Amino acid sequence: DTAVSQTPKYLVTQMGNDKSIKCEQNLGHDTMYWYKQDSKKFLKIMFSYNNKELIINETVPNRFSPKSPDKAHLNLHINSLELGDSAVYFCASSQVGRGADTQYFGPGTRLTVL
Amino acid sequence: AQSVSQHNHHVILSEAASLELGCNYSYGGTVNLFWYVQYPGQHLQLLLKYFSGDPLVKGIKGFEAEFIKSKFSFNLRKPSVQWSDTAEYFCAVNARGNNRKLIWGLGTSLAVNP
């Protein structure tokens, strides 16, 4: 009964390709997030959706496009992949107004661009 | 702008040693404070959090943290570390009223030698 799940866990692809990462949460939370963690472990928020509405959109290349079909899912599509996109991408979810909005993280997707 | 500073980037301890990891934040208003842990190859897990009440917070696995408002600090402590505590530790803050966006420290890498 995984709370926040992501697929795939590993993704190896060539430069220039388009790929998607999927995220699902079964916690009943209303807010979901995408983070990028680089090789130095630095965590950077990319996007956040609340009830399918984009509420945080940090300075991210427009090759990255999130999509939230419903509040339990937040997918990340990346066009024209570049070497610098190699990182671990974490999905997270939280419920606004509950328990200081603790964020719960998925297992991560390790993306390697060759 | 809000920021979180973790003073120790790399810490190496022997088993049974005591641990204290520093975390300071800059924000003038009311905050919620978190410590997350990331074991090697795994996702982030919540260790403990503070949002109101007793400033000494106890978390999982024997960890605790103390919120000192006058010092804008939320240091993490454990009296006796184990080899299994080897991990990355992240301090994070969000501002009351803007609970969706967590501001993260750069992390502290802890290595515990058996």
DSSP assignment of B41-68, as one string? TS-EEEEEEESSS-SEEE-GGG-EEEEE
Are B37 and B47 in contact by the 8 Å Cβ rule? The answer is: yes
Architecture of the domain spanning B3-36+43-95: Sandwich (2.60)
| pLDDT beyond 90 at A2 | no
pLDDT band at A108 (very low <50, low <70, confident <90, very high): very high
Number of Cβ pairs closer than 8 Å across A and B? Answer: 58
Question: Which pLDDT belongs to residue B2?
Answer: 79
| pLDDT beyond 70 at B99 | no
Domain ranges of chain B: 3-36+43-95
Whether A56 sits inside 8 A of B45 (CB atoms) is no
Contacts of B94 in chain A (CB under 8 A): 100-101
Q: Which of A40-44, A70-74, B17-21, B44-48 has the lowest mean pLDDT?
A: A40-44
Question: Which pLDDT belongs to residue B17?
Answer: 97
| pLDDT beyond 70 at A99 | no
Whether A100 sits inside 8 A of B32 (CB atoms) is yes
Q: Where are the alpha helices (DSSP H) in chain B?
A: none
Whether A56 sits inside 8 A of B101 (CB atoms) is yes
The CATH class of A4-103 is mainly beta
| pLDDT beyond 80 at A85 | yes
Question: Which pLDDT belongs to residue B31?
Answer: 87
